[in-house]
Chains A and B, each alone.
Chain A
């Protein structure tokens, strides 16, 4: 099919170009969606959880330093969500169950953060937490009342929230793990419950062993 040398060369050049284009474009054939690229980048950068004021289902307000020296297992949700949030929180409940009970509250705190602060007031969050048998203490649900603070957190952790105009939001979902110093250490696939639970447990145990 290939009759002359130049054509062979140009085919090779095109192939090398294509290979490099895909290699660079997908971070070495690992990230084919912007979401996976985002996660890879986050884990590399380990951003700090910014200074924001959280208000939980019991109306208590505090910053992330409330959980100093503890791992914080975080999800981002809104209570009006009828699709992925429910799945996300159900899976979070399963991770919660799988982490040994002696660690809960002492070594790790679970935290669901709402990005719809106007509707998700403490009362609403209190109702929502009961749906997932969250105790409000070792697994808390909170909103960030200040929109600017909320936006800064969402941006830092790469949570993309698109309002659809009907009071719903399209958003990406994952498990976030922040360490005792407030920096993000891992972003996990929320559908891999066992993997997330064992990862968290191992980290706690390794941390205790030190």
Chain B
């Protein structure tokens, strides 16, 4: 229950209009801080749902694949330039952001992650590294303003943010392939 409260408080804090407006005023904070924090909030709250409806998750997310699919779809959706823009201009899209990221990405990620084996996890990380490089390239090389609410320079910063994340993921992958932790225990 403690985790659920923590997640809920985080979600509510992020929803406070001045906080939301502040975070959304900078493109990279919008995408690489606000959105991940929403997922983290869902991840914490997930404990409650897992305890409450264990049968549901056992039955419909037996091997974790459906949950990961859902997580990935929601992630890709929020990486599109258009959805970022519309979150600022269309109320329902903004509301959908605060619902979908915690509950349709955070919660399924929590349930699915522990069900994946090492290969599955690394595949997922590889997929995201490739996607981040792709989106990073998209945001960096595009001279046109992809988002009407942000400047081109913000867009380039966001692009490099993606590339930086991808580099971190690649470093992790290299580490997990090359280093065998049991040798050091």
Contact = CB atoms under 8 A, between A and B. Distances in A.
A38 B148 contact: yes
A68 B146 CA distance: 35
A26 B73 contact: no
A172 B145 contact: yes
A131 interface: no
Interface in A100-116: none
Contacts of B152: 170
Interface stretch (B8-16, B77-85, B162-170, B177-185): B77-85
B62 interface: yes
B83 A25 contact: yes
B3 interface: no
Interface stretch (B33-41, B44-52, B63-71, B126-134): B63-71
A33 B81 contact: yes
A35 interface: yes
Contact of A34 (B70, B77, B82, B144): B82
B63 A7 contact: yes
Given A6-B60, A17-B70, A26 B65 contact: no
A11 interface: yes
Contacts of A11: 65-66, 69
A203 interface: no
A34 B147 contact: yes
B63 A32 contact: no
B122 interface: no
Contacts of B82: 25-26, 31-34, 36-37
For A14, A15, A22, A35, the residue with the greatest tally of chain B CB atoms inside 10 Å of its CB is A14
B35 to A, nearest CB: 15
A26 B147 CA distance: 14
Given A18-B69, A34-B81, A6 B149 contact: no
A30 B132 CA distance: 22
Contacts of B63: 1-3, 7
B151 A6 contact: no
Contacts of A33: 80-82, 85, 146-147
A22 B149 CA distance: 21
18 contacts: A7-B60, A7-B61, A7-B65, A15-B69, A17-B70, A18-B69, A21-B73, A25-B77, A32-B80, A32-B81, A33-B85, A34-B82, A34-B89, A35-B144, A36-B82, A37-B86, A164-B151, A170-B145
Interface of A: 1-4, 6-7, 9-11, 13-15, 17-18, 21-22, 25-26, 31-38, 160, 162, 164, 170, 172
Interface of B: 59-63, 65-66, 69-70, 73, 77, 80-83, 85-86, 89, 144-149, 151-152
